[in-house]
Copies of this chain bind each other. A is one copy, B any other.
């Protein structure tokens, strides 16, 4: 099961039931089971998940803050439509934000965060060598999440995590083909090296390249 902790606005909120329900609804929306514009009845969700309206409404509020659901006063919750162009926009936004994020992270990263990054990168090398695609998907995400966090800009972190989430589920199959793994590793290595050398410009450039190539790989 993929970890969706970042769906909750604060990672410390580990209420498992609400978490799983929010995750389930989010996936239903992003995979099209719930169609754009469709009304989401509180009662139906209550029945489906055996919860009362109070927690269901809190979950809908959470989803509304991620943009997956639109709340209209006195009328209820509606599935927000996400078009192909929206996805393009998310990629473009990441292009814009990720280099800046890397810049800040290089300036601000702590010793603990740096060693976590080192450890994660070592695993990336290992999983690339062993061609473990499943593990790579997770560790790629983890590598970037550490960088987001190291920027010490919570708003930026939250924003980038949200884009990753939306991109992940809107593109159902995210997995790069196996032969892309070494390429991706080298892109990440360039970023990682910039961290070791504390070279913000090199980091931003490497991040730019990685984000751009990720976007291109999608098409």
The one of B12, B57, B58, B67 that contacts A158, using a Cβ cutoff of 8 Å: B67
Verify A156–B93 contact, CB threshold 8 A: yes
Q: Contacts A72-B13, A73-B12 hold; do A154 and B80 have CB atoms under 8 A apart?
A: yes
- Does A41 lie at the interface of the complex (its beta carbon under 8 Å from any beta carbon of B)? no
Q: Contacts A62-B61, A62-B65, A97-B96 hold; do A10 and B155 have CB atoms under 8 A apart?
A: no
- Does A89 lie at the interface of the complex (its beta carbon under 8 Å from any beta carbon of B)? yes
- Does A179 lie at the interface of the complex (its beta carbon under 8 Å from any beta carbon of B)? no
User: What's the number of copies of this chain in the assembled complex?
Assistant: 2
Verify B156–A70 contact, CB threshold 8 A: no
How far apart sit A67 and B154, CA to CA, in the bound complex (Å)? 8
How far apart sit A14 and B74, CA to CA, in the bound complex (Å)? 10
* Size band of the interface chain A makes with B: 35 or more
A77 CB to closest chain B CB (Å) equals: 10
What residue in chain B is nearest A72 (Cβ atoms)?
B12
Verify A12–B153 contact, CB threshold 8 A: no
Verify B71–A10 contact, CB threshold 8 A: yes
- Does A9 lie at the interface of the complex (its beta carbon under 8 Å from any beta carbon of B)? yes
What residue in chain B is nearest A99 (Cβ atoms)?
B96
How far apart sit A159 and B13, CA to CA, in the bound complex (Å)? 22
A65 CB to closest chain B CB (Å) equals: 3
Residues of A within 8 A of B (CB): 9-10, 12-15, 54, 57-58, 61-62, 64-65, 67, 70-73, 80, 86, 89-90, 92-93, 96-97, 100, 104, 153-156, 158-159, 162-163, 166
